[in-house]
Chains A and B, each alone.
Chain A
Amino acid sequence: MLNAVYQLKKPRQFELVFKDITFDDEHVIVRPTHLSICNADQRYYQGNRPEEILNQKLPMALIHEAIGKVVYDPTGQFKVGDPVVMIPNLPCENDEVIAENYLRSSKFRASGNDGFMQEYIQTVPDRLVKLPEGINLTVAAFTEIVSVSYHAIVRFMKTAHARRNVIGVWGDGNLGYITSLLLKSMYPDIRVYVMGLDKSKLNDFTFADGIYLVNDIPDDFRMDHAFECVGGNGAPRAINQIIDYIHPEGTIGILGVTEDNAPINTRMILEKGLRMIGSSRSGREDFVNLVELYKDKPEVVEYLENIVGEQVVVRDIKDISRAFEKDIHKLIGKTIMVWDK
């Protein structure tokens, strides 16, 4: 079957190509229905990756956050029409110690491999997780980024010491919102404080125990642990501020992606005996457990509805560009492409 694949050929230019899909007994075919734009997609779209990376990875279909409907399943694990979230991480081996999302051999959609901006996705069944009936599909569309926060929190909790009275989250964007929301939902007893640059954005973090502008944090404020969800050029300042405010032996979870190396106060990391734990992407287990969390705590999905931004129906390549351009100008929120291509 000739499958339409919408690739980014070069920054700001999408192109339609067709790739053959051969039916077999092992692969499920999914029709994408809702796709969500991530900052990583934007870095390719706007050409904000180093030129050698762009030359190496493009042309490539973008988008690694998406849901769809099963249209063909010879494995019998799904019914035709089942709504599913698709896992972008593509492990090539099993390792007893290293998680699938950290194996250097793993591939990832929309980073060297075609992403979900396709007419159909052919995949093995373990890269799909069935969604609960009736879930808000625009929220479900960005399950992947939520699973990244989920993964980071689970991993963090295995490392951070047991005194967890106060945790700070730096970042008032989507990742900060999702991480602080999950943290509060999974650990209601922990007091979660969110630090950011924009008061109007911070005001939306209604579930948090406190919010502070980064230049207005009380001198006596202290937390046991912290998450950095800033990324980009702001990450070094955020990390150094965390180092200043955190109690000794605290753990700092780093989630923000930076293009350049971040200069950080290593002297104080040593003096306070801090731990820093990086985390990236997520694996099947995180998706499965997150979908269970959505079922158990529907209020999480309701809160996530607050960060659904523009919804763009895509019937034409021009609509894809329109969605990406709208996404650039958003203040906060996830831009969703309703896939009708």
Chain B
Amino acid sequence: MSKVYGVILAGGIGTRMGNVEKPKQFMELGGKPIIVHTIEKFIMNSEFCGILVLTPKQWIKHTEDLIRKYAQMDERVKVIEGGSTRNETIMNAIAHIERKGDLDEDTIIVTHDSVRPFLTHRIIEENIQYAKEYGACDTVIPATDTIVESKNHQLISSIPDRSKMYQGQTPQSFKAKHLKDIYESLTDEEKEILTDACKILVIKGENVHLVEGEESNIKITYPYDLRVAEALLGGC
């Protein structure tokens, strides 16, 4: 049976969060740090043999303390150091899995932004299912706004057909070894440009299946998002 790892990306240093100094994943929502809510959703899925939380080195201890304080200890959760970019962080996770001897052709990673705490059971389940079936998948919702492309940032160069447009969310899930092999085949220049793991696969001609996301699976990036998130918690 293939090993499935949750990979929670908590590399953000929160520069977009106004005057707030803490990285945004540590902001409280409903009395708990956002990252704890996210980790707890992964703990609920028994298919994960490991849940790796990747965070900048200086925040590892803090993250571990928060997990200990708020979440029930689960031996599957491990906090490790992230990389300099999103993809390098994912590669650190894969390297960790490899060191444990768990990396083979069928090993699945479900990568997720730590600041998307509203993901649902179904989204995780379908990510695992589609990654096993198709090798890679990306969680999306249909675009509600018309997408406008401008190459020079002044004039519209094209308006794609909205019915074919989607907004990317996370999780993004992959067969870990395959993703690693492809990433390692990239030049340094390509690695710099290809910041999204799914994009690497798409550019290399690989199939990436869509998983239906949820409108509520928002990313808490700006202070406005935190207000929206608090409103979603109106039922408390």
Taking Cβ atoms with an 8 Å cutoff, the residues of A that contact B are 1-2, 4-5, 7, 16-25, 29, 31, 59, 71-72, 74, 80-81, 119-120, 315, 340-341
Contact = CB atoms under 8 A, between A and B. Distances in A.
B44 A20 contact: no
Nearest to A80: B46
Contacts of B45: 71
Contact of A19 (B41, B44, B212, B236): B236
Interface stretch (B4-12, B89-97, B117-125, B194-202): B117-125
B37 A2 contact: yes
A59 B37 CA distance: 24
A17 B44 contact: no
A261 B198 CA distance: 64
Interface in B36-78: 37, 40-41, 43-46, 70-72
Nearest to B126: A340
Interface string B99-133: 00000000000000000011011100000000000
A201 B218 CA distance: 49
A23 B71 contact: yes
B111 to A, nearest CB: 19
B122 A18 contact: no
Given A19-B235, A81-B46, 16 more contacts: A1-B40, A2-B30, A2-B37, A2-B118, A2-B233, A17-B235, A18-B30, A18-B216, A18-B235, A18-B236, A20-B32, A22-B70, A23-B40, A24-B72, A71-B44, A315-B212
Contacts of B30: 2, 18, 20
Contacts, number: 71
Q: Please name the 5 residue pairs, one residue from A and one from B, whose CB atoms are nearest each other, closest first.
A: A17-B235, A1-B40, A23-B72, A20-B30, A80-B46
Given A1-B37, A2-B37, A120-B44, A17 B72 contact: no
Interface in B209-236: 212, 216, 232-236
B121 A31 contact: yes
Contact of A72 (B43, B234, B235): B43
Interface residues of B, number: 26
A16 B43 CA distance: 22
B120 A119 contact: yes
Contact of A5 (B37, B43, B212, B235): B235
B44 A1 contact: yes
A2 B115 CA distance: 12
Nearest to B236: A19
22 contacts: A1-B37, A1-B40, A1-B44, A2-B29, A2-B118, A4-B118, A16-B232, A17-B232, A17-B233, A20-B30, A20-B31, A20-B37, A20-B236, A22-B32, A23-B43, A24-B72, A25-B72, A31-B121, A72-B44, A80-B46, A315-B122, A341-B121
Contacts of B117: 2
Contacts of B41: 1-2
A72 B76 CA distance: 13
Contacts of A16: 216, 232
Pick the most buried of B117, B118, B235: most chain A CB atoms within 10 A of its CB.
B235
Contacts of B29: 2
B44 A18 contact: no
A70 to B, nearest CB: 9
Interface in B150-172: none
B44 A29 contact: yes
